[in-house]
């Protein structure tokens, strides 16, 4: 960590390298090591090589316990979407992103998703629009959104862009919460919001069960994910804007 480097600089390097964590090394009278994961959580900070080693093993075991579901490219063609409402939705996300950057001074990671609400009712409940991976969420346009659907337990995406790694979790939310039509997820935290009990990495399907317990009876609201970030969910754009 050269002079002027901050923790967020180390986190951004993780994303550039498509990694899971980084060891930030600082030298003063002796070397100091800090293991930081992609969500800016510190797993160890100190000068002991033995403790550093044990913490690496602990983090490795933690990542191996994650339950993930793959998304598979579909041969189907894209369906028509309601680009006007999706545009309004993305404007709300853009305003939120700007606010988070101005107040926290960190990059706005995460994703957005919504149901395809312009379709016939039989399709409307199956097709979800999800932000793609590796894109600046502030500049995203309706045409950038990836169309996803589930057939039995298999999740498919249409087009050449892969959807967010959180897609399986959010599809499960839409399946089980018929009132929820919009979700915004970011890697910051909301003051005085309820918080889940367990920490899960992005895309870990186990996170759904914790989230569902908080939102299953609500039409709109917000929730902190322990050591992960927040989600804001809503039935309408007006309620989303209000939140």
Please give the pLDDT value at position 149.
Answer: 93
**Residue 126 CB neighbours (<10 A):** 16
Q: Which long-range contacts (CB under 8 A, 24 or more apart) does 39-47 make?
A: 39/187, 39/201, 39/202, 39/227, 39/228, 39/229, 40/7, 40/8, 40/11, 40/106, 40/187, 41/199, 41/227
CA–CA dist 123, 125 (Å, integer): 6
Contact 142, 81 (CB under 8 A): yes
146-151: strand order across its sheet: 71-73, 154-158, 146-151, 128-130, 110-115, 182-186, 229-234, 221-225
Closest by Cα among 83, 87, 72 to 151: 72
Please report, for residues 92, 101, 163, 205, 229, the alpha-carbon distance to residue 146 in angstroms, rounded to integers and kept in the order given: 18, 25, 6, 20, 22
CB neighbours of 46 closer than 8 A, spacing ≥ 6? 32, 33, 52
Q: Which long-range contacts (CB under 8 A, 24 or more apart) does 234-242 make?
A: 234/180, 234/181, 234/182, 235/179, 235/180, 235/181, 235/182, 236/181, 237/85, 237/88, 237/89, 237/92, 237/182, 240/89, 240/92, 240/182, 240/184, 241/92
CA–CA dist 186, 103 (Å, integer): 14
pLDDT for 50-82, tens place per residue? Answer: 999 999 999 999 999 999 999 999 999 888 888
Residues of the chain predicted below pLDDT 70: 102-109, 117-125
Please give the pLDDT value at position 120.
Answer: 46
Please give the pLDDT value at position 64.
Answer: 96
pTM: 0.90
CA–CA dist 10, 32 (Å, integer): 14
Please give the pLDDT value at position 221.
Answer: 97
Q: What angle do CA 82, 125, 78 make, to 5 degrees?
A: 50
């Amino acid at each position: 960590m050269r002079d002027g480097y901050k923790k967020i600089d180390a986190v951004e390097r993780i994303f550039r390298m498509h990694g899971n964590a980084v060891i930030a090394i600082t030298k003063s009278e002796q070397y100091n090591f800090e293991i930081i994961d992609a969500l800016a959580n510190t797993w160890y900070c100190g000068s002991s090589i033995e403790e550093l080693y044990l913490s690496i093993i602990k983090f490795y075991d933690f990542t191996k316990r994650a339950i993930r579901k793959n998304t598979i490219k579909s041969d189907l063609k894209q369906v028509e979407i309601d680009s006007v409402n999706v545009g309004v939705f993305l404007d709300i996300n853009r305003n939120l992103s700007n606010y988070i950057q101005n107040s926290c001074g960190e990059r706005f990671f995460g994703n957005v998703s919504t149901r395809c609400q312009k379709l016939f009712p039989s399709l409307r409940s199956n097709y979800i629009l999800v932000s793609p991976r590796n894109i600046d969420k502030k500049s995203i346009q309706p045409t950038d959104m990836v169309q996803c659907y589930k057939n039995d337990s298999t999740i498919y995406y249409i087009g050449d862009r892969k959807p967010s790694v959180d897609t399986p979790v959010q599809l499960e939310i839409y399946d089980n919460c018929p009132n929820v039509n919009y979700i915004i997820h970011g890697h910051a935290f909301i003051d005085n919001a309820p918080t889940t009990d367990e920490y899960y990495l992005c895309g870990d399907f186990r996170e759904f069960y914790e989230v569902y317990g908080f939102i299953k009876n609500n039409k709109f609201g917000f929730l902190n994910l322990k050591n992960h970030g927040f989600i804001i969910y809503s039935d309408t754009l007006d309620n989303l804007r209000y939140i």
